[in-house]
Amino acid sequence: MSHEERESFRQQGILLTSFNEIYNWGRANSIWPLQFGLACCAIEMIAVAAARFDIARFGAEIFRASPRQADLMIVSGTVTKKMAPQVVRIWNQMGEPKYCIAMGACSISGGPFKQGYNVLKGVDRYIPVDVYIPGCPPRPEALLNGLMEVQKKIKAERLTGPDAPRHLRKDLPCEWPVPAYGEHDLVPPKNDSVWRPAPSLVRADKP
């Protein structure tokens, strides 16, 4: 049935939907973020929860203190190598389906501390990131935009078939290896099943 036909039914007070659609609609509008922050980006995240930006408008105001009750991890701040194992462990403790936003330059790539010996060059080396929000720090509106991108992703998910999301596929892992300290660095330095190095940029010869 086309969108126009459904609209004409809706105008007559008849709402047509599918189980897939209503299931995703409910999930997308009741996201519970995990209540944790790592550095200055967390202040912007806190602002999003306050009255001026009011994340409650998107049904996501219930920041949970327990990973067992949260389905969105907002990595808001610098992930040090000391903190990385804890972040992965908390991610593992969250139940599926779960989503991850990398908020700010630090969580995406290490940001201004990229060259630091103690800073992880992107949380996506260990856990799968669904939405990246650039900025140092990103404004609260950018986080709300990132949340809407997560909602779009949830609404587009299929419950069956080869395009089913990770939490419905038995062949994909639901536990991620927690890195440990080695002699010089974290071991393993990355999780190959979630992180791929960016392709090298080749500079074109100048004419």
Q: Residue 167 and residue 159: Cα distance in Å, rounded?
A: 10
The pair of three-digit structure tokens given for residue 183, joined into one six-digit string: 């002699």
Q: Compare residues 106 and 120 and give the one whose CB is closer to ligand SF4.
A: 106
Which is closer to ligand SF4, CB of 111 or CB of 140? 111
Which one of residues 33, 111, 122, 179 is an interface residue with ligand SF4 (CB under 6 A)? 111
Residue 60 binds ligand SF4, judged by CB under 6 A: no
In the set 104, 122, 146, 179, which binds ligand SF4 (CB under 6 A)?
104
User: Does 136 sit near ligand SF4 (CB under 6 A)?
Assistant: yes
Q: Which of 49, 72, 74, 78 forms a contact with ligand SF4 (CB under 6 A)?
A: 78
Q: Is 100 annotated as a binding residue?
A: no
**Residue 140, Cβ neighbours under 10 Å: how many?**
20
Instruction: Say which residues have a Cβ less than 8 Å from residue 83's Cβ, sequence separation at least 6.
Output: 38
**Minimum CB distance to ligand SF4, residue 128 (Å):** 20
Binding marks (x or -) toward ligand SF4, 171..200, rule CB under 6 A? ------------------------------
Q: In b/e form, how buried is each residue of 119-139, taking b as 16+ CB within 10 angstroms?
A: bbbbbbbbbbbbbbbeeebbe
Buried b (16+ CB within 10 A) or exposed e, 40-72: ebbebbebbbeeebebeebbbeebbeebeebbb
Distance, CA of 161 to CA of 158 (rounded, Å): 7
137 near ligand SF4 (CB under 6 A): yes
Question: Measured from the CB atom, is 28 or 108 closer to ligand SF4?
Answer: 108
Q: For the chain, how far is it from start to end, CA to CA, in angstroms? A: 55
Find the angle CA(76)-CA(154)-CA(162) to the nearest 5 degrees: 120
In terms of CB distance, is 60 or 133 closer to ligand SF4?
Answer: 133
Give contact residues for ligand SF4 (rule: CB under 6 A).
Answer: 39-41, 77-78, 104-106, 111-112, 136-137
Question: What residues form the annotated binding site for [4Fe-4S] cluster?
Answer: 40-41, 106, 136
